[in-house]
Amino acid sequence: MRILIVEDDAQLARGVASLLRAAGHAVDHVAYGEEALSVAATEPYSLVILDVGLPDIDGFDVLARMRARGDQVQVLMLTARDGLDDRVRGLDLGADDYLRKPFEVEELEARVRALGRRRGGSEAAPEMRIGTMTINRSTGRVEVGERLVELRRREWAVLEALAARAGQIVSRETLQAEVFGFDDPVGSNALEVNVTRLRSKLAPDGPAIRTVRGVGYMLDRP
C-alpha cells in the first residue's frame, strides 16, 4: 500500500516507516496536520496513520476536514491519550481504527494488514487466488501451484496492486503512485524493471502480466 504517516515525533515516525517499508509498503511522512491535508488531497494513499497530538492542528481536525471533503482513505489514529471519549470521538469522526501509544509493533502490523484488506469499504479475505497463483496478504507469501515465489519488496507491491484489480488495466501513473513514495529513489524505468522481474518469476505457470501500450499493465484473470 501507499501509506502516509502524520506524526511529529521524528524517531517514532522513522521507526514506523522503516517497519512498513520492510513489509513492502511505500511510505511518506509529514509532521504537520495542514501538510497532511495538502498531500492527502493529491496522492493516492491507501492508509493514513494519523497522530492526534500534532504541532499545528490536532488529528481530530485533520480527520474531520478529510471526511468533510469526501476523502474516504483508511485512517488509523494514534494517541497517547487513554480516555474513552477521545476514542469515541475519533471513531465518530470517521476513523477506521485506533491505537494507543506505546504500542507493540506486531499489533501495528496486524492492524495495518486488516485495514489493507478492507480497502474500498469491503471486507476482503487475506488470501487471494488468481488462476494457479495464491497470494496471502497477511504473510506476504506467494505461491504458483506448489511453487513458492520469492519476491522483493517492490515486486510484491506491484503484484498486490495489480492483483487487487486483476482483469483490469492499471495505468502506469496509478501503479507508480501506489508503489513508490516521495523519498524512494526512482529511476525513469524503475517500474518497468520491477514488472519485468515479476513477470519472469510468475512464468511459465502463473498468471501473465500484459503491457497495454501507452496505458499501463493488466494481470490476466483466467
CATH 3.40.50.2300 maps onto the chain at 2-121
Give the torsion through C-alpha atoms of 191, 174, 141, 147, to 10 deg.
-60
**Residue 82: what pLDDT?**
65
pLDDT in tens, 26-82: 899 999 999 999 999 888 888 999 999 899 999 999 999 999 988 888 999 988 876
CATH 1.10.10.10 maps onto the chain at 127-219
| SS3 at position 144 | strand
Give the C-alpha separation, 59 to 178, whole Å: 24
At the second CATH level, the architecture of 2-121 is 3-Layer(aba) Sandwich (3.40)
| SS3 at position 35 | helix
DSSP bridge partners of 52: none
At residue 100's C-alpha, the angle toward residues 95 and 103, to 5°, is 125
pTM: 0.69
- Tell whether the model's pLDDT for residue 87 goes beyond 50: yes
Name the DSSP class of 121.
Answer: G
Handedness of CA 65, 80, 19, 185 (dihedral sign): positive
| SS3 at position 134 | strand
**Residue 120: what pLDDT?**
44
pLDDT in tens, 103-159: 888 888 888 888 877 664 434 557 888 999 999 877 778 999 989 999 988 888 899
Q: Which residue type is seen at 193?
A: V
CATH class of 127-219: mainly alpha
pLDDT in tens, 170-199: 988 888 887 877 766 666 688 899 999 999
Q: Residue 209: phi, psi to the nearest 5?
A: -105, 115
**Residue 85: what pLDDT?**
77
